[in-house]
Amino acid sequence: MNSDRSLLDEIQQGESKTLEFKSQLPSHDQLAKTMIAFSNSGGGKLVIGVNDKRKLTGLGDKDVFELMDQISSTLYDSIAPALLPETYVENVRGTELLVIRVSRGSMLPYYLKKKGKEKGCYIRIGATNRIASAEQLAELERQRFHRSFDEQINAEVSLDDLDLSPLEQRFQALGKILNKQQLQNLKLVRSEQDSLYPTHGLLILLGYYEHCEIKCSRFKGNTMSIFLDKKEYRGDLFSQLEQAELFIKNHLHLKADINQLQRQDSYEIPFTAIREVLVNALVHRDYSNFGRDIKLGIYDDALNIVSPGGLPNGLTTDDIQKGRSEVRNRVIARVFKTLNYIEQWGSGIQRIKEACQEAQLPEPRLSETGDFIDWELYRPLRNQVREPASTPKSSEKMSEKVSEKVSEKVSEKVSEKTSEKTSEKILRLLSVSPRMTIAEMAQSTGTTTRTIERNIKKLQEFGQLKRIGSDKGGYWEVQG
């Protein structure tokens, strides 16, 4: 009975990173692609007998054992390395469904045999299967051998040419020494053929690469239409953290709390939560893709921080909320922990929530949007209008008429606002993930594909959005 409710709940929540459903068994290639994507990501279930509207349609008169044999032979013939999914029938409210469940694989990367590893490797992003890019393929190879990008050396950079003082100063401030032995222990340098080379981790910490930056913006209102301030911060990661914090402080309001005749000023969003989100963005972002950076936006209603790279090793947002921790960048995380920027693994999310709860703010939103992690910390609502306690009986008729008029106006405004917000959400999504599909945008904004298409058309007409390349292989470019 419990499993029945569990699967039904999953279906009602819709397709996701770990769930896909079909009304009937898909083609050989489509079935193989989905199983490959699940195995290369966090595992997942393909449920047969559920249509696009999440209605249970069942298996009809199909022979279950025949379907199971067909699935086994398809996957065996199509996928390398070999996959061993679990296939079983589950009865949900009197309807038979066929479930194909696969765990995250240990022989990464998995791919379609006929296309080869470079062109036939798929990963799961949101509720879609995507061909893995060269960077993502390399990351899967590293995961197979339990290595991280920041542990690898960059033999093209000489250790003698690097200024280590930003890092040395951080260690000295805590009474710690950063000598050659400590550099090796922290895997900031590694020996190769009797020579010491810097790892990507050291170069990232020092801000050596151009994409190691935070782009900060303050927008007017709750949309991205008008910039009030704009800054880009580079340099070592610790300086970036401090500069980003200063930028936020310059654009947040201070509030005064009187405690035992003492005035205490604090920011409207607790800085405990802000720093935790910023540290998470710096430590856990994907640095292997050299074309992306962290984006920080301040709006009238929220602070938004977006970092490149989805959740590592197939984690879901539910896993993160429960305190599970997976480290993408081991060198960077180890240094941040050594310098007390990280307290305990897996405890940050809880601290963020508790800090906002104590400040009587809405719970922050954490989401995985495409191949990005998106945090929203909400600001307090201002200028709230208090409703009258009651309406005099003598004015009941007038009140009804006014209510009708107000309802009409409110409906119009809500429609306008919803449309405006959808357009702004589209721009925000495409500014960080230009290759998002219409379906992914619809899922992220909670609207239909038709709504997305209508808004995109308007954005193109107004010159705010431009399509670069073909419908299949191109991408979106946000203008202005």
- CATH code of the region 416-478: 1.10.10.10
State the DSSP code for 194: T
CATH code of the domain occupying 214-378: 3.30.565.60
Q: What per-residue confidence (pLDDT) applies to 359?
A: 93
Length of the chain: 480
* pLDDT for the residue 396: 35
Q: Is residue 19 within 8 Å of 45, Cβ to Cβ?
A: yes
> CA 422, 424, 427, 432 torsion: positive or negative?
negative
CATH (one of 3.10.450.50, 3.30.950.30, 3.30.70.260, 1.10.3720.10) for 2-144: 3.30.950.30
For residue 413, what pLDDT is reported? 38
Q: How far is CA 64 from CA 48, 99, 200, 226, 437, in A?
A: 11, 11, 51, 58, 34
User: Distance between CA 375 and CA 278 in Å, rounded?
Assistant: 10
According to the model, what pLDDT value does residue 271 have?
Answer: 95
Are 167 and 236 contacting, i.e. CB atoms less than 8 angstroms apart? Answer: yes
Question: Which two structure tokens, joined as six digits, stand for 459?
Answer: 């954005």
CB 371 within 8 A of CB 291: no
Sign of the C-alpha dihedral, residues 344, 348, 349, 351? Answer: positive
For residue 260, the model assigns a pLDDT of 58
**pLDDT confidence of residue 410:** 36
Q: Outline which parts of the chain fall under CATH 3.30.950.30.
A: 2-144
pLDDT in tens, the chain (480 residues): 334 458 999 999 899 999 999 999 999 999 999 999 999 999 999 999 999 889 999 999 999 999 999 999 999 999 999 998 999 999 999 999 999 999 999 999 999 999 999 999 999 988 889 999 999 999 999 999 989 999 999 999 999 999 999 999 999 999 999 999 999 999 999 999 889 999 999 999 999 999 999 999 999 999 888 999 999 999 999 999 999 999 999 999 987 666 655 666 789 999 999 999 999 999 999 999 898 999 999 999 999 999 999 888 778 888 888 888 889 999 999 999 999 999 888 788 999 999 999 999 999 999 888 789 999 999 997 533 323 333 333 333 333 333 333 333 333 333 434 444 788 888 888 877 788 888 778 777 777 777 888 889 888 877 888 888 877 778 888 876
Paired with 431 in beta bridges are: none
CB atoms under 10 Å from CB of 25, counted, come to 19
**pLDDT at residue 357, as a whole number:** 95
Query: Using CA atoms in the order 231, 233, 238, 243, what is the torsion angle rounded to 10 degrees?
Result: -20
Q: Which two tokens stand for residue 220?
A: 């007017």
135 within 8 A of 289, measured Cβ to Cβ: yes
pTM for this entry: 0.75
DSSP 69-117: HHHHHHHHHHEES----EEEEEEETTEEEEEEEEPPPSSPPPEETTTHH
CATH 1.10.10.10 domain position(s) in the chain: 416-478
- Exposed/middle/buried for residue 119 (C-beta within 10 Å: 0-12, 13-18, 19+): exposed
